[in-house]
Structure 1
Amino acid sequence: MGTPELSRDDLKLTELSYVKINALILLMILPLSMIGYQFAVSNEEMFFVYEWSLVVLVLISFILAGTTSIIYNSSNTWLSYAILSFDLQFAVFGLFMGPYTSYELFFVYYLCAAIALIIFIITLNKVKVFRYVIVIFIIVTVLLTSYMLLLQSLWGMNWM
């Protein structure tokens, strides 16, 4: 008995495979943030490694979700749209990590978060697979927005 051979069609990735890969890439933010915390606490001159690694990770996720949404045309494309909107929201949130934060960027974040929430809700209605990813995105969006509201209130300016 020989081993079965895999054909070229067996090795092709489907749209949901790309979504899984993209979800795993986004999951890599957690251990990367732990490393970034260690850099910030004990080795501050190496913190730029964390910042640029995070930029590369979000950029890879954004490019992968963008190409997946362009290549495939199905109802699952909304998963890629949700990942794209989360990446955009997270990138705007990342602007508050550095010294270039200005008060006007709070409202840019709120706009991106509102657009992302609308896309997440549409995705929940249209897609039947990987709904837990969208729920996680919604929870993270609520947590990040709560943090931004706290940060804005500590800024010392009015809410409007």
Structure 2
Amino acid sequence: MEGMENEGNSSHDPQLSEQTQAFVKGPEHLENVYVDKEAVYKLTEGLLSHYLPGLQNSKRTLQELTQNQLILLDTLDQEVTKFQECNALLDLNSLFTEAKVYHNKLVNIRKEMMLLHERTTKLKKRALKLQQHKQKEALEREQQREKELERERQLIAKPAKRT
């Protein structure tokens, strides 16, 4: 019994069996220990009845937490998808804005090209008129020169024919 007190057991029960005393004194006395199967069964039942409800409750709580986490993950995935769609819409809006800017640029370039086409057409007509006018003037000068040459030929004295 002194061994039990040395082992830290403060309860002093004189009815402890020798087997129990041997178990309490230390593992070196375990060789001669008799184990009552019914006592082991009852102790096991008591231990299970004491801890099992709490463990089962903890298990249910953990399962609920796991289920809630899965639901939360699904919700987060949906939110991420929504944000991605919003970003895609923003990208799409910026693409439409950019397309509108380029469309306006194309319209302006087309107007400019039409204006340039009109100007070049007018310049071609004017150049043709000028060319025709110059040709006419050149022709008139040539005709005038020929007239003057003919006139000079007529003015040149011709020797009279001897008869």
Measured against the shorter chain, the TM-score band is under 0.3
Flag the structure with larger Rg. 2
| Greater length-normalized contact order (CA 8 Å, ≥ 6 residues apart) | 1
TM-score (norm 1): 0.21
